[in-house]
Amino acid sequence: MAMNTINKSSAHSKITGDMGEALVCYLLSKAGWEVNRFDHTGIDLIASRDHQRLGISVKARSRHELRNGVSINLPRKNIDHTKAACRAFEIEPCYAFVCDREGKGIVVYLMSDKVVQEVCGVSDRMTPSLPMTAKHEALYRQRTDIDWCDLAMLQSSAAFRSLPVEIAAG
């Protein structure tokens, strides 16, 4: 297999999204938030703690190492759907960006709508995106208005190309 290709299952995109939602649920729950998955256009999760209620749109991506620094797009339509759903339920819109960076591990960034507007360059003319270069990630981690978690991949044998399983004949 060439170094710049990666074989993913046909359901990998859906699985990545589900993993991203589950990971954000776990991290918020661990921090004392009550969290539920919520199947509604624009909102994937609802979280509440101390009279604060959030509607969270989760954007999860799985990247080959050559694309680790590529931005995560947040189409304007998604932002509009999230805001509309949050208005309807009287909750604050937030966004979670989950990126499985091959060779580097998984990173999660959680930010309010206000911060997304600033960081992602939201405008009517361009597709907003979260830059994922090392420089940008270092800046996100310095901000007090962005929560983050880096699950660094220190070691792994997770190639799973040939599992050590013997199938009995017969």
Residue closest to 79 by CA, chosen among 91, 93, 89: 93
Q: What percent of the chain has pLDDT over 70?
A: 82
Instruction: Quick: pLDDT tens for 101-137.
Output: 877 889 999 999 999 999 998 776 678 899 998 899 9
* Strand ranges (E), 1-138: 34-40, 43-49, 52-63, 72-73, 92-101, 105-112, 129-130
Residue closest to 33 by CA, chosen among 17, 18, 45: 45
Q: What local confidence, expressed as pLDDT, does residue 101 receive? A: 82
Burial-class residue 94 by CB neighbours within 10 Å (0-12, 13-18, 19+): buried
DSSP at 125: S
* Contacts of 109 by beta carbon, 8 Å cutoff, 6+ apart: 96, 97, 130, 140, 146, 147, 148
Q: How far is Cα 71 from Cα 75, in angstroms, rounded to an integer?
A: 12
CB 129 within 8 A of CB 121: yes
CATH number of 12-152: 3.40.1350.10
Q: Taking residues 140-146, what's their average pLDDT? A: 95
The pLDDT of residue 56 is above 50: yes
Q: What local confidence, expressed as pLDDT, does residue 152 receive? A: 83
Quote the pTM value.
0.85
Instruction: Quick: pLDDT tens for 11-22.
Output: 888 999 999 999
Instruction: Quick: pLDDT tens for 30-47.
Output: 999 999 999 899 999 999
Q: What is the mean pLDDT of the chain?
A: 86
Radius of gyration of the chain measured on its C-alpha atoms: 18
The pLDDT of residue 79 is above 60: yes
Q: What local confidence, expressed as pLDDT, does residue 161 receive? A: 55
The pLDDT of residue 1 is above 50: no
Q: How confident is the model at residue 2 (pLDDT cuts 50, 70, 90)?
A: very low
Per-domain residue ranges of the chain: 12-152
